[in-house]
Structures are given as C-alpha cells and as structure tokens.
Amino acid sequence: IKIGRSGARESTTTTAVLPGCSFSPTEIELTDVYLRRKIAGGHDFPVEAAGFFHDADVYSDEPEKLVQPFLPRQAPAQGTSRRRPGTSSAPRATPAWYFFSPARYAGKKKSSGRRSRTIDGDGSKNWHSEKMAQPVEGGSAVGGCVQKLSYMVKNEASGKSERAGWIMAEYGISPEHGGGHLVLCKILMAADEVIYGFSSVDPGFSPEMLERLLSE
C-alpha cells in the first residue's frame, strides 16, 4: 500500500514486507505525513507504514552497523544500470532504510544552526553534505527540506576522506512546525556488489547519480 497525505490507502502499490513489493514514499509524504506526525507525538501515524521506520541516532555508528538489525525497504529501480558481464541487465531495487534520528548541532546550543554530522568515535568518519538543503518537491505545507549527503571515511595512507558507498537524504521541517530536533533519514547503499556496477575499489558516484538515487 502507498500512504497518501491523509494516511489513507491510495494505490495498489504493496509494501516491502511481502516478496516482490516495495515502499516508495515521495519527499512530501516523508516530511508532511511521516515526519510531521512523528514530531507531533505519533498518535495519528499511519499504522500500515509503522514497520518501515526505525528510531536511531544515525550519527552514532557506521551505516553498515546501524542498518544491520533491520531489513531494507526496496525502492523501485529506475533507468538502466551498468552490469558486470553475465548479470541481468534489468535495473534492481535499491536497498533503503528509513530512520527517525535526533538532529545534532555543533556546540551545545541548537540556536547556532550549525549541524554536526561526524560519526561517534575517532572522528575519521562523517556524513558529508553534497549541496545546501533544498525545499522538497511538491510544495510542503510544513517547510519540508532535504539535505543530501555522502558517507566519507578518512584514508589512513593519504589522510584524505573518500566516499565509502553509502548515501543519505536527511529530511527536516521548519521550526515553526515543530522541526529542528528530529529528522527523517533515508539511507541507501550504492556499493558495487549491490547495484549500478560501481567499482568496489572506488565506490564514488557522480552528482547526477546521487541525485537520482536519493530521489527514487
């Protein structure tokens, strides 16, 4: 089922709980339905969708450890993906996870407005912003915005941070509508062994590919 803005069943798209099915909410549904209702206390959160979301601090651990306890929700594949010889040419679904996470700020005060996205530990891993936060598509009624990020790990040999094959879209709503302390994060794996034929040595991807993956 696909949950619309009213929380009602609106289409025949079934959930990823069943084999061969997918869960693919739009950006405006993520901000104006799910995140807004979660912030409001979750009393009217669509029951049918509850199993697709998890509560966790996405900046507390490496993404591969963060998602390990949870089954991914398969976002529908679009377009043509590059394949190794002998594999199917049909696009495969992108593994995706959805988390409600506290927003972290640099310093002790949220009023600073500066976000901190360094992973707990030795500071060698972080979520790197690819561009400034943008309004979500569809005309959000709650000031919905999205920040798109890549997971970076410092290479000990070179001392430089490199993309490690994970990407994230972080959704928020405006403080006027209760936002600022909680965000909704969509995390995807974009590694070679899963999708798109990226090199396992260099799992980097173009800005265009990042945009398409996070918009699916």
Domain-located, residue 11: no
Domain-located, residue 5: no
Encode pLDDT of 169-198 as tens digits.
Answer: 999 999 999 999 999 999 998 754 443 333
Domain-located, residue 3: no
Domain-located, residue 22: no
pLDDT for 108 equals 60
pLDDT for 42 equals 81
pLDDT for 1 equals 34
pLDDT for 98 equals 95
pTM of the predicted model, to two decimals? Answer: 0.71
Full residue range of the structural domain in which residue 101 is found: 27-215
Residues of the chain with pLDDT under 50: 1-16, 76-91, 192-205
Domain-located, residue 2: no
Encode pLDDT of 138-167 as tens digits.
Answer: 899 999 999 999 998 988 888 888 888 899
Domain-located, residue 178: yes
Domain-located, residue 193: yes
Domain-located, residue 56: yes
pLDDT for 114 equals 67
Q: Is residue 61 within 8 Å of residue 120, measured between CB atoms?
A: yes
Phi and psi dihedrals of 165, rounded to 5?
Answer: 95, 5
pLDDT for 148 equals 93
**Overall domain count for the chain:** 1
Which CATH number fits the domain that encloses residue 160? Answer: 2.170.150.80
pLDDT for 208 equals 60
